[in-house]
Amino acid sequence: MYPEHTPSTVRPDTRMTDDEAAAEAARIIADAYRPAPQTPTAHRDDSPVPAYGSAPPVAQPGRPPMSQGATDASVLMLAGGATTAMIGGTASVLMYVSQFADPIVCAIVFGAPTALVLALARLAKRAKPAPDVHHHYEGPVYQDQRNVRSKTTGVWARTNNQQ
């Protein structure tokens, strides 16, 4: 309530009678239940959207925009985290329910699949074939492909480049 309308500031000669109060209440209720005006509250533009334009792309709700590789990696991380939580939860419940489970044995039993998956992932990463490199030239070309091994050692850095 605003201070100018509190009962202590209302003058006795300006108070409404019961009939006036009832009429005002009826008016307020009628205004609240009156149908909305016939003006539209929304507009939909069905005209075709151009294939390109000058407006920058807008990020949509959900996952932030990222490359396909980053999306795949984030899904793998989420799946790995959920798997780790399930394995750890299972081990915790097993140790709590049995009351005498050996934590070292549980670590070995529940950690072995994780180590196996990590080893297989590393093996699969190395098993990828090397990409084929194709060069197309016109005219005389001198092509020099050298492998240089660089090794830096010592407190005073000394670099040895060997071909």
Which residues of the chain are modeled with pLDDT < 50?
Answer: 1-3
pLDDT of 1:
46
Asked if 95 and 101 touch (Cβ cutoff 8 Å), the reply is yes
Is residue 105 assigned to a domain? yes
pLDDT of 26:
92
Is residue 116 assigned to a domain? yes
In three-state secondary structure terms, 151 is: strand
Is residue 94 assigned to a domain? yes
Domain of 74, in residue numbers: 69-126
* Residue at token pair 């009832």: 22
Number of domains in the chain: 1
Is residue 160 assigned to a domain? no
pLDDT of 41:
66
φ, ψ (nearest 5 deg) of residue 69: -65, -40
Is residue 162 assigned to a domain? no
pLDDT of 8:
52
Is residue 93 assigned to a domain? yes
Is residue 75 assigned to a domain? yes
Is residue 52 assigned to a domain? no
pLDDT of 88:
82
pLDDT of 62:
80
Q: Give the span between the Cα atoms of 1 and 3, in whole angstroms.
A: 6
